[in-house]
Amino acid sequence: MQNFEPVIVAFCCHYCAYTAADMAGSKRLGYPPNVKIIRVPCSGKVDAIHMMKALEKGADGVYVAGCLDGDCHFKTGNIRAARHVEAVKKLLDEIGIEKERVEMFSMSAGMGEKFAEVASEFTERIRKLGPNPVKTSAFAQVRQAVG
């Protein structure tokens, strides 16, 4: 546990969070390398299946970062994304996995600081939760070794 470095998948909207990550880079703001960014055309495109598959394949935490309320380039994608995240939280709860492992965040393209802050806070949250129980089981380790 001491050496635990969480693997975090961040689905970032092209129009806000992804650009905010760029902004964080331009401003030389550091954020944990644990966060692996996947650029999506809209946060609303991120389905429950994408989040679940990320967790099943070994991510310790997953978050979706979309536009601020009312700012979605496709009008309501961010609202739909938040609902998808809620659905995954409910499903995780049902199978006994901490629902805090998934989250929805909102930010604008100019919020480089917010991006770095969210990345750091979420990484810390997952660090405290510990490894995804799915990948720590002996069976899962055998499965991963076999490929």
Please report, as ranges, the residues that interact with other proteins according to CB under 8 A: 47-49, 52-53, 55-56, 91, 94-97, 133-135, 137-140, 143
Q: How many residues does the chain have?
A: 147
For residue 82, the minimal CB distance to other proteins (Å) is: 14
CB nearer other proteins, residue 33 or residue 144: 144
CA-CA distance, 78 to 84, in Å (whole number)? 10
For residue 117, the minimal CB distance to other proteins (Å) is: 29
For residue 53, the minimal CB distance to other proteins (Å) is: 6
User: What is the sign, positive or negative, of the torsion defined by CA atoms of 68, 71, 72, 78?
Assistant: positive
For residue 99, the minimal CB distance to other proteins (Å) is: 13
CB nearer other proteins, residue 27 or residue 137: 137
**b/e map of 2-33 (b: 16 or more CB within 10 Å)?**
eeeebbbbbbbbebbbbbbbebbeeeebebbe
CB nearer other proteins, residue 29 or residue 140: 140
